[in-house]
Every structure is written in structure tokens, then in C-alpha cells.
Structure 1
Amino acid sequence: MDGFRATATNEALAPEQVRGFLTENPGFLRDDDGLLAELGLRLDAANVVDFGPAALARVHAAHREESTARRYLEATARANFSAQAQTHGAVIDLLEARNHADLARRVDELAQLRFGLAAGVVALEGPGRTPAGWRMLVEGQVDMILGGGQKLASMGFAPTALGLFGERAPQVRSMAMVRMAIWEPARQGLLAFGSADEHAFTEDMGAELVAFLARVVERTAERWPVLN
């Protein structure tokens, strides 16, 4: 036993060597109360090594972490399913629009009623007239709001976008915005949603559902003639 301790102290042992030694010397572990305590093990009445409090605590902690991760994944899945269901319902609402003004009104209403947001906005660059209910932008303003470089979407807080939300701008703490191109030749536009929650839209979020709604708004708006 002393020889084993000296060897273990002076050089690293392969797992197979440790296993072989314990197989040939079963009493080494069973009779060493101090080593059993360090390993979090104990002997039961049948002289069988059993898990002690430390080992059980580790197992419990691992189980708790696994349960927490599982609950997070389940909650995320439920949230994604709910968002998709609400988005599909929103599409039906948008397709029932009767004109450009009604389309803009429906965007704002679904933002508040379906998604619990502060506002929903449809904006359009000039030149040319801007439909009633839509926000008017100067040429190049979509690039400026989204951060330039023909960027397609922006998630998070953008100070340059606060003007889109008019009198409700002071409530907005985060935005989801997607570029649109409407009619032919295309006029640049923007679908924007604002939330009073700074964590509702963050930079690490995907913009797929908002982009899907933007495509619906584009196609719906093209039902009616472009205004010049």
C-alpha cells in the first residue's frame, strides 16, 4: 500500500493501472476511511461502496442544471410557436386591408393588440407622394436608419429610428425594422415595430418573422397604384 502511494505521488498513473491495482487490492479503497471521505463515498451495511453526501450533492446539482436547461428550451419553443401563430394571424389581418391607409392602420393595430408592442409603422422614401397613414422619409433615410450599406434589417435600439414613431417615440426602448421595396421602379420603404421593453428586440435576435411580415406588406401595398 505504501509503495502504491509513493508511486502515485511521484508519477502519473494511467486509468488502467489504477483500475488494475484496485481490482487486485479491493481492501485498499474499502479500508481507507479518509480516501472514501475525499471521494464522497461510504460503505453501506453490506460492505458495498455507496454514494456519500458529496457525491449525491453533485448528482443533484447536475440534475438541477439539466432540468433548468430543459425548461429554458421548452419555454423558448413555446414562445417561438406563439410568435409564429400570432404572425400567421397578422398576415390574415394585413391581407384584408382595403387601401394604403387601412394597411398602415392594421400594421399599428396588430403591433399593439397581437404583439403587445408600442407601435407599428410603415414608412416610404420619396420622391413622390406618401400614402395616408404612412411615414414620409427623404431619399437615403432608410439606409441611415438601418445603419447604411443596404442593410436589410435591424434589431435593437436605434436612435435614428425614433422619429418613425411620432408622439409614441418616448415609449420606445427597442425596435425591429426591415427594409422594403415597393412598386416598379422600386421605392425604398421600411416596416418598423417599437417596443417599450428594451429587451423585446435585441441585436442577437433573428429578424425572420418581421421580414416575413414586411414581404406581406410589400405585396399587399402593390395591389393599389403607386402615388406620384
Structure 2
Amino acid sequence: MQLSEIPLTNLWGRELQDKFPRVSFPEVLHDDHALLTFLESMEVMGVAVVSDVPCEKDQIYSFAKRIGRLKSTPYGETFNMQTRMDPNNLAFTDDYLDMHTDLPCLAAKPEIQMPHVIKQFPGEGGETMISDGFTAASKLKKNHPDLDVGGSIRTVNWHQMSRDSRFQVSSSEAAVKWYSAAFAFRDLLYDADNLAELKLQSGDMIVFDNLCVMHGRQEFCADQGERWLQGGYLE
């Protein structure tokens, strides 16, 4: 069963906040039972936190080799998120990041994302926000059946920061329906019952299904210290 076909009975919301599935990095690398526990968490929940990762660059490679293979993207095999004085991407600032999936513009969007916190600043803010896109989509389907077309939920593509401002629809009425659906879906993502937050610490890696789990970031103050994440994608 592919991760994009997770049954809707495994939907989750804010109740996951204090009980994210957790596994140990050394154990996953060296113990098959720990690896199985991690893979089951990903299959059922679509998200897991890996603890005890060395706070050094390129730990992602050994983790990825244990599970599958890294997916090359326009950013390369890995990417670094650090605050910059001359950012060319919102992720390189200390601003708020809206909930999204990564790289939905690609024909084959990355299936799994795994950001590793090499250094976490000690100040307030910067919490990672996680929301189950399938939970939001199933509620959208239930509450607004007129917005549903195909009747099934296979994957979620959502990235407001890279969405084109121009798209073709058949009429102005269709455009109004599209925006109504988009606003309704976004409201569900941020509903208090659906949104979970956690502040990852240095040595943590969060791994999630990029086909259904949405993620974002609370704003923080870069003057309070350095924040450095190295990420990558898995096939």
C-alpha cells in the first residue's frame, strides 16, 4: 500500500500534539525492530519524530540509506534552511510560514520529507506546525459535498506561497467556487482540533508524508540565536 492511499480511518488532529510517534536515530540505524516501528508509524500516521540524531551535517544520508534513497530536486539531494541577510526564499527568513506541502509543482512530488534540526535557537517561536491534509479534505468533503468531484482523496497539493496567481477556469462563477473551496480547506487546516505544534530541539528530525501531511512554521526572532535545519526527500 502506498502512503498516498492511507485509509481515512487513520485520520488525526490536535490529539497527536503530545504523543507524536518517536523513535531513536541510532536504534533505527542498527535495529530492525526499531526500523519496523518507524515504518509502521509512517504508514499509519504519516509522521514520526526521530530523536538523538547527531548535531552534525549530512546525517540524512545514513538515515535515507537505511530506508530508501534520496530524491534529487532543484535544490540538490539535500537543502539547508538557515536565516540569511539576503534571502531568496521565505524559508530563509524568520517569518511565519503558511501550511504547505513541498514542491507540488513537480510532476513527481517528493513522497517523504525529513528536516533535521542541527541547531535550534534558544528563544521563543519557531514551532513546527503539522496538520493532516486528509483530515481537512475529508471534513471538506463532508461539510461541502458540492465541492467534491471525484469522490476519493488520494493526495494533497497545497502551497499558497508558490501558487500561480493566474489559472484557467470556465467562468467567473467557477473562480468564486474555487476560492470558496480554498478558503474552506485552509480554515480546516488551521482549526484548533486539527493543528498540532511542536518545537523541535537540536538533534531532532521530523519525518512526514509530503503527499498528505501539511507543515508550516511559527515566526521567530533571528536575533535570539541561530536556527539551522538540513532537509532531504525520500522516494
Higher relative contact order (CA closer than 8 Å, sequence separation 6+): 2
Q: Name the structure with the higher helix share.
A: 1
> Would you call these one fold, judging by a TM-score over 0.5?
no
How high is the TM-score relative to the length of structure 2? 0.29
How high is the TM-score relative to the length of structure 1? 0.29
Q: Name the structure with the higher strand share.
A: 2
